[in-house]
């Protein structure tokens, strides 16, 4: 089971709701709820306009409360990467969950089968990706074991093809057809289509280069789909896309579902992409609130290091405020950030200054926190609207 689902919110946290942002302790992960809602509306509108499903990746926010917001806005479900994340979603009342990743361990597959059953009982549908015949057979065994109790639950199974990421997935073409055939041998499995996600294309800076990369993906998918359909097997859905490339998949006519997750919060790495004109203008909605705790002649130090925000995709950017001016963040280790005024700004931050950071990468940043503080009315003068629990924080298995 996911480790943090049942941790009660402390009384201190509950008391924070309704208070001014100034009352939020540092460092804390803060969500600008207004900006998040705008991002959500923009995504919903984009999907409607392109007549495409969206199943945002909950590996990013790990929160069933946010997943429910996404469903209300029109998402068909959520994606996750881990069985324990799926457990957190189902426990939180989210029943259309796609584990867009390979699961091999029989003990985990037993949990997947149990979840499929739980989801079906709530009129939901569990789905999973595969990239090996062995994985298909083990999944079928786990589902068979679960069905011995009498339930006729079916799990949706997507065949993952490697479209340039160089990670999981079979080679497009023949290998995918073989897996589709293998899936169809097993009654509790339904061949649901293809998973084709090109992770490496997401942060290619130029829109044209991203379009070029996804054009190749589309050819891989078309070729594979044709091969499978030639055997009389329908390919109901092609699923994939991230926030960086989603306009390309949406326009392809081949993809039926977008998995983009980061659009909801954005981060410094995605913001560094040159925006495709077709892309909605997503705003930053995730911040680390930090405080200056040491101030010297040439630099100051804030209380947020890389235990508060992930730096795998680069250091955070500092929000420029009138009080503090433009600042550069340098790595000060696990618990410290080093702040220097950049050209034009003469003012070294003072003790007590509030510093707002835009994390380099939202997904692993959220995973460092048990909760996010949802704020409305702006970062500086707003109020705490709600505490958003990160149900699946640390849900690794």
Q: Which of 117, 203, 284, 393 binds a copy of itself (CB under 8 A)?
A: 393
> What's the half-sphere exposure (Cβ side, CA atoms, 13 Å) at 326?
4
Decide whether 141 or 294 has the Cβ nearer to a copy of itself: 294
Of 325 and 364, which CB lies nearer to a copy of itself in the complex structure? 364
> Looking at 67, 292, 355, 358, which residue binds a copy of itself (CB under 8 A)?
292
What is the number of alpha carbons within 13 Å of residue 357 lying toward its C-beta?
34
* Helix orientation angle between 133-147 and 174-184, rounded to the nearest 10 degrees: 20
Binding of residue 1 to a copy of itself (CB under 8 A):
yes
The binding track of 132-171 with respect to a copy of itself, each residue x by CB under 8 A or -, is x-xx--------------------------x---xxxxx-
Asked if 27 touches a copy of itself (CB under 8 A), the answer is yes
Nearer to a copy of itself, 137 or 190 (CB): 137
Looking at beta carbons only, is 156 or 363 nearer to a copy of itself?
Answer: 363
Residues 103-132 touching a copy of itself, rule: CB under 8 A, are 103-105, 107-108, 131-132
- The answer to whether residue 226 forms part of the interface with a copy of itself (CB under 8 A) is no
Strands 125-130 and 96-99: parallel
Q: Does 198 bind a copy of itself (CB under 8 A)?
A: no
Rounded least distance, CB 232 to a copy of itself, Å: 28
CB of 72 to a copy of itself, least distance (A): 26
Give rounded-to-5 percent helix, strand, coil for the chain: 35, 20, 45
Q: How far apart are CA 289 and CA 29, in angstroms?
A: 6
Residue 2's Cβ-side half-sphere holds a number of Cα atoms within 13 Å equal to: 29
Q: Which lies closer to a copy of itself via its Cβ, residue 34 or residue 178? A: 178
Q: Shortest approach of a copy of itself to residue 150 CB, angstroms?
A: 26
Q: Are 368 and 308 in contact (CB under 8 A)?
A: yes
Contacts of 271 (CB under 8 A, 6+ apart): 284, 317, 358
Tell how many helices (H) and how many strands (E) occur in the chain: 11, 17
285 with 243: CB under 8 angstroms? Answer: no
Measured distance CA(43)–CA(46) in Å, rounded: 5
- Rounded CA-CA distance 98/169 in Å is 16
Residue 231, both tokens: 């055997």
- Comparison of 181 and 315: residue with beta carbon closer to a copy of itself: 315
Tell which positions 298-317 bind a copy of itself, by CB under 8 A: 299, 301, 304, 306-308, 310-312
* Minimum distance, C-beta of residue 383 to a copy of itself, in the bound complex (Å): 18
Query: Which of 64, 70, 81, 243 touches a copy of itself by CB under 8 A?
Result: 81
Three-state secondary structure call for residue 125: strand
242 binds a copy of itself (CB under 8 A): no
Angle of helix 106-121 relative to helix 83-91, nearest 10 degrees, comes to 20
Beta carbons of 372 and 328 less than 8 angstroms apart: no
Contact letters for a copy of itself, residues 319-358 (x by CB under 8 A): ------------xxxxxx-x------------xx------
Residue 81 or 252 with smaller CB distance to a copy of itself: 81
What backbone phi and psi angles, to 5 degrees, belong to 56?
Answer: -60, 150
Q: Which residues bind a copy of itself (CB under 8 A)?
A: 1, 3-4, 6-7, 10, 12, 25-28, 59, 81-82, 101-105, 107-108, 131-132, 134-135, 162, 166-170, 199, 291-296, 299, 301, 304, 306-308, 310-312, 331-336, 338, 351-352, 363-364, 367-371, 393-394, 396-397
């Amino acid at each position: 089971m996911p480790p943090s689902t049942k941790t009660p919110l402390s009384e201190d946290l509950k008391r924070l709701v309704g208070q001014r942002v100034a009352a939020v302790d540092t460092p804390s992960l803060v969500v600008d709820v207004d900006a998040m809602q705008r991002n959500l509306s923009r995504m919903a509108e984009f999907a409607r306009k392109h007549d495409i499903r969206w199943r945002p990746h909950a590996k990013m926010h790990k929160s069933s409360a946010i997943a429910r917001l996404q469903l209300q806005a029109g998402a068909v479900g959520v994606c996750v990467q881990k069985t324990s994340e799926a457990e957190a979603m189902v426990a939180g009342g989210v029943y259309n969950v796609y584990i867009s990743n390979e699961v091999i361990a029989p003990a985990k597959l037993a949990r997947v089968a149990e979840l499929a059953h739980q989801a079906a009982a709530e009129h939901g549908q569990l789905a999973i990706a595969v990239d090996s015949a062995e994985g298909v057979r083990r999944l079928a065994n786990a589902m068979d074991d679960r069905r011995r109790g009498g339930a006729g639950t079916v799990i949706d199974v997507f065949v993952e093809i490697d479209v340039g990421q160089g990670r999981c997935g079979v080679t497009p073409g023949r290998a995918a057809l073989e897996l589709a055939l293998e899936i169809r041998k097993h009654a509790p499995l339904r061949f649901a289509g293809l998973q084709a996600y090109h992770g490496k294309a997401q942060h290619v800076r130029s829109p044209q280069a991203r379009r070029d990369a996804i054009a190749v993906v589309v050819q891989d998918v078309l070729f594979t789909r044709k091969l499978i359909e030639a055997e009389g097997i329908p390919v109901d859905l092609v699923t994939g896309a991230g926030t960086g490339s989603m306009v390309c998949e949406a326009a392809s006519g081949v993809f039926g579902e977008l998995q983009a997750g980061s659009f909801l919060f954005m981060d410094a790495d995605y913001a560094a992409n040159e925006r495709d004109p077709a892309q909605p203008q997503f705003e930053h909605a995730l911040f680390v609130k930090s405080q200056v705790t040491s101030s010297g002649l040439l630099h100051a130090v804030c209380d947020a290091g890389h235990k508060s925000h992930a730096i795998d995709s680069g250091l955070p950017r500092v929000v420029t405020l009138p009080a503090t001016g433009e600042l550069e963040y340098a790595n000060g280790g696990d618990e410290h950030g080093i702040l220097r005024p950049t050209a034009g700004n003469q003012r070294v931050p003072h003790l007590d200054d509030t510093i707002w950071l835009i994390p380099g990468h939202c997904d692993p940043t959220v995973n460092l926190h048990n909760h996010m503080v949802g704020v409305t009315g702006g970062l500086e003068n707003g109020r705490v609207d709600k505490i958003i629990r990160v149900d699946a924080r640390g849900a690794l298995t």
